[in-house]
């Protein structure tokens, strides 16, 4: 049976940890993407305790392009069988302000991490993923603006990521490149990113991790799709 290897960015906590865990429990061998060794090793220990096979970790600094080049080189050397990249890592930006009070620097930093960094890592891993008939899954939010939740920096960065997904999917199909890319919107989830907010309509990391893993494992082609697990709801 062919080895199934996945790199999940931001796998040391939150939704990334949940996705890594449930992909691992379904037979994937996991490479943890994290920003520092201590957090990575803690996550590896917790994942292995649940029965997940972890192959190792790689340093993912989405705001550092030279670091991403090094990460891609390391993945190519250590994990040449990689066939799935889950782009989960990101930053929230300042979610406490409206657009009128959003700092330009906050927009720039959020775009640098959530879009430019994600694109740079994806681009660097495309040759390896294509070699292995691979897939790219982006964890994102809708480009359409919700009246209930619309932090400008974060939504803008994810809209750019969604555009990347659509453009790449079209190009893969037009060129016959053996790659698949699609987006998953987990919906409102209680994580560090939102200060562990828990309101009606919110779901936990276990639920979202399991459902995302089931989607990835469903055997269907989802090229270019935007798949919403749970919609954004009004905060009561």
- Measured between alpha carbons, how far is 59 from 34 in angstroms, rounded to an integer? 5
> Tokens 């699609």 correspond to what residue?
182
Q: Which two tokens stand for residue 4?
A: 């199934």
Please report, for residues 28, 116, 125, 201, 227, the alpha-carbon distance to residue 182 in angstroms, rounded to integers and kept in the order given. Answer: 19, 17, 16, 24, 8
Q: At what angle do helices 118-131 and 152-175 cross, to 10 degrees?
A: 30
Query: What is the per-residue pLDDT across 74-119, written as a single tens digit (0 to 9) for each?
Result: 999 999 999 999 999 999 999 999 999 999 999 999 999 999 999 9
Q: 105, 91 in Cβ contact below 8 A?
A: no
pTM summary value: 0.92
Contact 91, 116 (CB under 8 A): no
Place of tokens 């905060």: 235
Give the pLDDT of residue 199: 46
User: Which residue in the list 28, 57, 115, 154 is annotated as catalytic?
Assistant: 154
230 is catalytic: no
């Amino acid at each position: 049976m062919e080895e199934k290897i996945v790199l999940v960015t931001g796998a040391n906590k939150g939704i990334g940890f949940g996705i890594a865990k449930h992909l691992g429990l379904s037979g994937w061998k996991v490479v943890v993407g994290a920003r520092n060794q201590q957090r990575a090793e803690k996550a590896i220990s917790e994942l292995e305790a649940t029965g997940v096979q972890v192959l190792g970790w790689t340093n993912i600094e989405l705001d550092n392009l030279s670091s991403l080049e090094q990460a891609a080189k390391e993945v190519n050397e250590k994990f040449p069988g990689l066939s799935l990249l889950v782009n989960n890592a990101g930053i929230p930006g300042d979610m406490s302000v409206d657009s009128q009070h959003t700092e330009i620097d906050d927009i720039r930093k959020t775009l640098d991490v959530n879009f430019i960094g994600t694109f740079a890592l994806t681009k660097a891993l495309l040759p390896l993923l294509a070699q292995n008939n691979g897939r790219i899954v982006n964890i994102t939010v809708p480009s359409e603006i919700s009246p209930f939740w619309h932090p400008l920096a974060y939504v803008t960065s994810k809209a750019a990521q969604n555009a990347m997904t659509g453009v790449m999917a079209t190009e893969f199909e037009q060129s016959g490149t053996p790659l698949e890319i699609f987006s998953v919107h987990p919906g409102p989830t209680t994580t560090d990113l939102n200060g562990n907010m828990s309101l009606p309509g919110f779901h936990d990391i276990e639920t979202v991790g399991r459902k995302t893993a089931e989607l990835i494992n469903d055997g269907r082609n989802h090229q270019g799709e935007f798949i919403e697990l749970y919609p954004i709801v009004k905060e009561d």
